[in-house]
Structure 1
Amino acid sequence: MKPPAAAADFLKQYGWGDAELLPVAGDASFRRYFRAQDGDRRAILMDAPPPHEDPKPFIAIAEYLKKSGFSAPDIFARDLTNGLVLIEDFGDHRMREHLDASPEDEDAIYQQVVDLLRELHRSPAASLPVYDEAQYMREVNLLTEWYCPAQELDVEAESFEATWRQILQPVIAAQNPPVTVMRDYHAENIMLLEDGRLGLLDFQDALSGHPAYDLVSMLQDARRDVSDALEAKMLAYYLADSSAAAAEEFRSHYAILGAQRNTKIIGIFTRLCMRDGKQRYLDFLPRMWGLLEKDLSHPALEPISKWFDQNIPTDVRNRPVRVSEDRK
């Protein structure tokens, strides 16, 4: 992975001209990351190439989070024309790998990530677009647009949309006032910093919406198994100060947003394979179906659960997506 052509001049302009650039694992987007090392100094170079990526939302949310008292990376330099941003390096101590090596720390660290959400949800929301019905529907439709064709399924797309619109109404109504929703809050985007705080990453797609969204993103992690017992414990911890009625409503919305998110991710991971040739994302589909089925068991999801039973039965869900030879 080679740095972009504009990187050398950009780094030189801001006093990092002698830095060595080393690739850092990226994400599912067009963004790429490099660690800039210059003696004892380290930073991360984000390459967010236009027109595919726009670094301005990342910068704006990082500044909001810092102002609100959270650990987002400092922005050292920016070149918005070329999509280059030099940011603080949070190191390599990531929540995911730490818990893989030290599972005995699970309860304490998950409690810390839930505490962070509780604090974020008490803070004034960032000035962001609303997570509205149109956005929710664009996301769930990724299932019928990508997964269903990949499985050669002829499904009832109109009833799929109509049922989701019905189910989402109480969630949308409850987003008043909204909270800041980072949208990718999970164990691979949380850094464990030397001062004991949690470093936040990958929040450039943030919206204002429902407080259950980031909680279900963390507790129904697409890339890491979270036990039912731990999920239940942390959900109860988040709701410890809520009345019984408020907690019951929140749990319903949590299940709805879990189903919405997991439906979306099944579509996204299929698209990453079929369109972008990233076949490894298919390995996550069994976990995603397990999470989705758990959410669909909630009474609030009964109408869409019936749709899934009629259109994507269990034997299909367990069937691997077929990949053509040119995608392997």
Structure 2
Amino acid sequence: MTQLPPGLADFLDRADWSGADIAPLPGDASFRRYFRVTRGEDQAMLMHAPPPHEDPAPFLHVARWLNANAMRAPAILAQEADAGWVLTEDFGDDRMRDWLDGNPQDEVPAYEAAVSALAALHRLPPGPFAAYDMATYQREAALLTEWYCPAHGLDVDAQAYSAAWQEVLSPVVSRQSPGVTVLRDYHAENIMLLGGKASTPQGLIDFQDALVGHPAYDLVSLLQDARRDVAPELEHAMLLHYVDAAGGVDDAFLADYATLGAQRNAKIVGIFTRLNRRDGKPRYLAMIPRVWALLERDLAHPALGPVARWFDANIPEDLRTANGAFGT
């Protein structure tokens, strides 16, 4: 039987949900835990994000901004942020990824709806969030040299790695002002199909790390998904759909898309390795070959020249293939 966190029942009592049935749900790559609470015909989602590892205040801040701007985040029903408790509207079980596993014929309309929602977000003024600045991009990219490279016993030139990213990211940063709200983890596992069909409104979850940055970031997060194969043909079609839904993009957009794709995929390789080595979560290792394949595609873009040359000089080819790319 799953051990419930201390204080859960008391929080539900204070939230006027006493006596509800409590069902634990699978967690994510964090210290957060989730529970579905049911009382009669009413259901809600309970998140436990306990300090010091977690802080639900950013989630609450972003959720309120999204809902105030007609974006579909879960409504907040009750919260005690200092203790890590948040009770929200329940979006159900139809994650976009799970739905498409059983309904592959709905892939195009599901992605069209997700891209259209992203374009709608980008038409809004940027939210009251911190900037996605160079220091943040660099810190994320460095996860590859901090975790993946040591896992394979590689002694790499970390200073040259940072310099290469500085060179390729500088024009991206200069072009992202005034910026858009970037949810930072916008992919098929974090999009809920609220009506149980691909064409229905889509709910947003896992957005607590939102920043103000480049419109290509969440798009590449969706279309170069670490957890789900997206065919290059579908990626290209959805890029065109975004251009149409956004009313056009500038000439540098595709270069920035590739650059941010490479930055994000390098970060994810590092994060998935860290999840295994530090947090004892080896299941993410199986996704690393997919991420490496996406990273290689991005590195082929001319805008990534300095970073691509660093990879060629520092990462052996046999570690950049489907069979050799696991972080140990």
Ranges in structure 2 where 5+ consecutive residues have no aligned partner: none
**Aligned match of 2:291:** 288
Q: Does 1:93 align with 2:97?
A: no
1:326 is aligned to none
User: Which residue in the other structure is 1:51 paired with?
Assistant: 52
Deviation at 1:240, TM superposition (A): 2.8
Match of 2:214 among 205, 210, 215: 210
Deviating beyond 6 angstroms after TM superposition, the runs of 4 or more aligned structure 1 residues are 241-244
Identity, in percent, stands at: 55
| TM-score where L is the length of structure 2 | 0.95
Q: 1:86 to 1:263 in 2, by over 3 A?
A: same
Matched positions, count: 322
Please give the secondary structure, in 2, of the residue aligned with 1:248: coil
Deviations 1:26-71 (A, max 9, x none): 2101111000011111101100000111101101111111111111
1:64 is matched with 65
Q: Secondary structure at the match of 2:212?
A: strand
Q: Distance in 2 between matches of 1:320 and 1:160?
A: 19
Distance 2:220 2:327 in 1: 29
Considering only aligned residues, what root-mean-square deviation do their CA atoms show, in Å?
A: 1.4
Which position in structure 1 is the counterpart of 2:225?
Answer: 221
* Structure 1 pair 241–223 and aligned structure 2 pair: CA distance change class (3 A): closer
* Gap regions ≥5 residues in structure 1: 324-328
Q: C-alpha offsets along residues 114-168 of structure 1, whole Å, 9 cap, x if unaligned?
A: 1011110001111001000100011000000000000000111110000101100
Quick check: 1:273 aligned with 2:271? Answer: no
Alignment of 1:1-328 (within 5 A): 1-194=2-195, 196-240=200-244, 246-318=249-321, 319-321=324-326, 323=328
CA distance in 2, matches of 1:91, 1:174: 38
1:200-229 deviation per Cα after TM superposition (whole angstroms, max 9, x unaligned): 000001101000000000000010000000
Deviations 1:253-280 (A, max 9, x none): 0000000000000000000001011111
- Alpha carbons 1:93, 1:193 under 8 Å: kept: yes
8 A Cα contact 1:239 1:247, kept in partner: no
Indicate how the Cα distance of structure 1 residues 35 and 241 shifts in structure 2: closer, same or farther if over 3 A, else same: closer
Contact 2:148 2:327 in 1 (8 A): no
